[in-house]
Amino acid sequence: MKLAIIGASGLLGSTTAFLAGKLNILEEIILISRNKNLLRHHIMDMEHALLPYSKTKVIEGEYEDIKGCDIILITVGAPERKVETRDEYLRDNVVIMKSVLENMKPYYSGGIVIVATNPIDVFNYYAWEKLKGDRNRFLGFSSNDSLRLKWSVSKVTGKAYDQLEGFCIGEHGMGQIPLLDQIKWRNKPLKLTSNERIRVIVELGSWFGKMQSLDCGRTSGWTSAVTLTEMIESIVLDQNKIIECSIVLEGDLGFDNVSIGVPVRVGKNGVNNIEMPTLTSEQSREFKKIIEKIQEQIQLI
C-alpha cells in the first residue's frame, strides 16, 4: 500500500511519516509540502533513520502523485498560535483547506482520506463534500481524545493505562463527551467516585490550556502521530480495530449533514461499522447539541 501525506514538512506530517515508515507495512510514503527544503531534509534524514527497521521508501511528491494512493493524510494548517479552543482555527485554515482540496480533486482516485486539520469534524465533512468519494473512506482524526481520557483516568486512579478501555465521542475539541460511565479496567467496569470523576474532567479540560500557555508554536505532534499511525496500521493490515474517528453521518444514528467522532471499526475499506455505545439521556442531549454546533460551522465555509 501507498500513503501520501499533504503538509508533510510540518511537525505532525513528518512525525507520522516516520512512525508509519518504521512499521515496515507500507511500500511507499509520498511526502507533499510547499516547504521544499525542509521536506527534502526530512526525507534525507528518514532514509537513514528507517534503514534498521523498514524497507518502506519515503519520497518527495506532488499532488498528481496521490493518484492511486491507498491512504491520503491531510496535515496542513496555519502556524500554531495561542487559542482558547480549536474552533478558532476554522478562520485560519479554511483558505488552506480549500486550496488543498482543489489541488487534490483532479487526482483523487478513491483512496482513504484522513483529515487532521482543525477543526477536524468540519473539515472532514468538507473534504468528503468536495472530493465526492465514498463517505466511509473519509476519517477525521480524533482518537487523541480517547487516549487522553484513559491518560487522565490512569493519572487519577493509578490504574495502568494499557489495562484501561474507554472512549470519548462528539467534537474533537471542547465539545467532546468523555463516557466516564463506560470506562473498563481489565475488561471489567470501573466505577469512578464522584471525586475521581471531577478530577478526570479537570485533567481533560486543563491540558490544552497548559500547552497553549507555553506559546511555542507547536501542536501535539508526537501524541497525534502515535494515534494517526494506529489508524494507518489498522487500515493497511485490515485489523478492524475500534478507533474513535470523526465520520460523515447520512442517516446514521438519526443524523445527517455532519461529521462527528464516534467509535468505529477501521479496516482496509475505511469505516466498516459504527460501534456506538448506549448513551444516557444526558449524553444523548449533549451529543445532539454538539452535532448542531458542527452543522452551523459547516455552513460557514
- Give 152-199 pLDDT, tens digit per residue: 999 999 999 999 999 999 999 888 999 999 999 999 999 999 999 999
Instruction: Walk me through the domains of the chain, giving residue ranges and CATH numbers.
Output: 2-141 (3.40.50.720)
Q: Dig out the grid coordinates for 266 from the structure.
A: 477501521
According to the model, what pLDDT value does residue 213 have?
80
Phi/psi at 265 (nearest 5 deg)?
Answer: -90, 125
Whether 81 has a pLDDT exceeding 80, the answer reads no
Residues 26-74: pLDDT tens digits? 999 999 999 999 999 999 999 999 999 999 999 999 999 999 999 999 9
Tally of CB atoms within 10 A around 182? 16
pTM here is: 0.94
DSSP string, 47-110: HHHTTTT---EEEE--GGGGTT-SEEEE---PPP---SSGGGHHHHHHHHHHHHHHHHTTT--S
Q: Dig out the grid coordinates for 108 from the structure.
A: 483523487
Reported confidence tier of residue 91, pLDDT bands at 50, 70, 90 = confident
According to the model, what pLDDT value does residue 211 have?
78
Task: Give kind and range of the element (H or E) at residue 260.
Answer: strand 258-267
According to the model, what pLDDT value does residue 172 have?
92
As a whole-number percent, the residues of the chain with pLDDT over 90 amount to: 86
